[in-house]
C-alpha cells in the first residue's frame, strides 16, 4: 500500500480527506465481493493448456482506494476484523483510509507504524468571545435562571482561557423542564457545533453495560459514539437514572478526557461534559452519586423552580413562536393575544417549560378543531 491514513473524528470531515481523483471502494462493498467470490470459487482459475495438469493461480482485484467508515466495521466478520491485514491482502489495495478504526485493526499496523498517517479532527471549543456572548444572551435564552449565569461563566472560564488539560465536567441539578438541557444546547450553539447528546434514561441495565464497556464490534458503544461526535459540548442527559454500578466507567473520562472500551479509545479533551439530574440539592447529588464520582465534577450548579413571572415570559414567547408557525388561514383563527390570555391562568411550575409547550400545543389544536367542526 502506498498510503495508509487513520482518521479520528466525525464523518463529514473524514469525507473531505478522501481523494477526489480516485475510485473509492468501501470495506462493506469489498466484504460483499469477497463473500460472493468465495462462494463461487472464482478466485481460482485453471490453466488452458490441454493435457496439462490444472495450474491454479489467484486473481488479485486492484483497489485504487479502500475506505472504511465507522459504521462499516460491523459489516465484516469477527475473524476478518482480527485478521484485517490478511483480509485486504487478498486484493491489490493502493491506498487505505480508515475512519475511527477499532483497536483490533490498529494493533495489526504496528509494524507499519512509520507508514501510517494519523489525522485527528480539531474540535472548536469555547473562547473568551463565547463567554461574552453567554454573558449578554443567557438571561434571554434561558428564562428564569439568572443565578445560574455567573456560576456557569465562572466554571467555563478555565476552559475558555486554555488553562485546562482535561475536559470541563459540570453537574446540573434541579427540577425537570427548567433549562438544564437547554443550557447545554445553547453552549453548543455558541461553539457552532451540533450537540452530542445521550439520554441515559433510555438505557436499561442489560443494554447499558455493553454500551459503556464495549461488547461485540457490531454493537453500539459510547466510546465509538464519542469518536464520531461533531461537537466539543457533550450532554449526558438524566445522568442520575442509570444504576450506580456504572459510575466507575466515567472516572477516566472525567479525570483525563479518555474513554476506552474493548474496541475503541476516544479522546475528549478541551470539551465540556454536562451531566443533568433531577436531584434537589448538591448534598443529595453527593449522597446518591457517591463521593468518588461527585469529586470529579469541576462545578455543581443548581437550577431553581421557575417563578410565576418566568413562566409568564416563557408562555408569551412560546405563544408567539407557535402562532408564527401556523398558516395564514390558521392565524385568522388563532390570535396570539387570545391564546396567551386564555392560558396564563393555567400555567404552573410543575412541568416547567415542557408543561408550557404542552398546554400551548393543546390549546391551538382545540381552537383549530372547533373552527373546523363549525364549518
Query: How large a percentage of the chain has pLDDT more than 70?
Result: 94
CB atoms closer than 10 angstroms to residue 188: 22
Cα–Cα distance for residue pair 153/43, rounded to 1 Å: 64
Q: Is the pLDDT of residue 259 over 50?
A: yes
Mean pLDDT of 282-289: 96
Per residue in 96-135, pLDDT tens?
999 999 999 999 998 776 789 999 999 999 999 999 999 9
Lowest-confidence range among 248-262, 314-328, 336-350?
Answer: 336-350
pLDDT band with cut points at 50, 70 and 90 for residue 169:
very high
Cα–Cα distance for residue pair 131/160, rounded to 1 Å: 8
What pLDDT does residue 349 have? 61
pLDDT band with cut points at 50, 70 and 90 for residue 45:
very low
Answer whether 173's CB lies under 8 Å from 280's CB.
yes
This prediction has a pTM of: 0.87
Answer whether 103's CB lies under 8 Å from 264's CB.
yes
Per residue in 1-40, pLDDT tens?
889 999 999 999 999 999 998 899 999 998 888 778 777 6
Q: Is the pLDDT of residue 221 over 80?
A: yes
Q: Is the pLDDT of residue 302 over 90?
A: yes
Q: Which regions of the chain does DSSP assign to beta strands (E)? A: 3-8, 24-26, 44-45, 57-58, 62-63, 65-68, 92-93, 95-99, 116-120, 168-173, 196-199, 233-237, 258-260, 265-267, 272-276, 299-302
Amino acid at each position: 500500500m502506498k498510503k495508509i491514513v487513520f482518521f479520528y473524528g466525525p464523518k463529514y470531515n473524514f469525507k473531505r480527506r478522501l481523494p477526489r481523483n480516485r475510485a473509492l471502494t468501501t470495506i462493506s462493498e469489498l466484504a460483499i465481493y469477497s463473500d460472493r467470490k468465495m462462494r463461487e470459487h472464482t478466485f481460482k482459475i485453471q490453466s488452458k493448456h490441454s493435457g496439462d495438469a490444472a495450474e491454479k493461480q489467484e486473481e488479485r482485484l486492484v483497489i485504487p482506494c479502500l475506505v472504511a467508515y465507522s459504521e462499516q466495521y460491523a459489516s465484516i466478520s469477527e475473524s476478518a476484523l482480527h485478521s484485517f491485514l490478511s483480509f485486504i491482502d487478498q486484493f491489490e489495495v493502493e491506498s487505505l483510509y480508515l475512519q475511527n478504526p477499532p483497536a483490533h485493526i490498529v494493533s495489526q499496523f504496528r509494524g507499519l507504524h512509520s507508514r501510517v498517517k494519523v489525522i485527528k479532527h480539531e474540535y472548536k471549543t469555547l473562547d473568551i468571545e463565547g463567554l461574552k456572548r453567554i454573558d449578554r444572551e443567557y438571561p434571554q435564552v434561558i428564562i428564569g435562571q439568572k443565578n445560574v449565569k455567573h456560576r456557569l461563566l465562572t466554571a467555563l472560564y478555565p476552559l475558555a482561557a486554555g488553562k485546562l488539560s482535561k475536559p470541563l465536567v459540570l453537574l446540573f441539578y434541579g427540577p425537570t423542564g427548567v433549562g438544564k438541557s437547554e443550557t447545554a444546547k445553547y453552549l453548543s450553539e455558541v461553539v457552532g457545533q451540533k450537540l452530542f447528546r445521550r439520554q441515559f434514561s433510555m438505557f436499561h441495565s442489560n443494554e447499558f453495560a455493553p454500551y459503556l464497556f464495549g461488547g461485540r464490534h457490531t454493537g453500539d458503544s459510547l466510546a465509538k459514539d464519542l469518536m464520531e461526535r461533531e461537537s466539543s459540548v457533550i450532554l449526558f442527559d438524566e445522568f442520575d437514572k442509570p444504576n450506580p454500578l456504572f459510575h466507575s466507567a466515567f472516572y477516566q473520562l472525567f479525570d483525563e478526557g479518555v474513554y476506552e472500551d474493548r474496541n475503541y479509545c476516544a479522546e475528549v479533551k478541551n470539551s465540556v461534559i454536562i451531566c443533568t439530574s433531577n436531584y434537589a440539592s448538591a448534598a443529595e447529588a453527593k449522597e446518591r452519586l457517591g463521593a468518588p464520582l461527585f469529586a470529579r465534577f469541576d462545578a455543581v450548579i443548581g437550577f431553581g423552580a421557575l417563578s410565576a413571572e418566568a413562566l409568564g415570559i416563557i408562555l408569551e414567547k412560546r405563544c408567539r413562536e407557535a402562532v408564527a408557525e401556523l398558516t395564514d388561514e390558521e392565524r385568522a383563527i388563532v390570535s396570539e393575544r387570545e391564546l396567551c390570555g386564555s392560558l396564563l391562568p393555567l400555567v404552573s411550575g410543575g412541568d416547567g417549560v415542557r408543561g408550557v409547550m404542552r398546554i400551548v400545543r393543546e390549546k391551538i389544536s382545540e381552537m383549530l378543531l372547533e373552527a373546523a367542526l363549525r364549518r
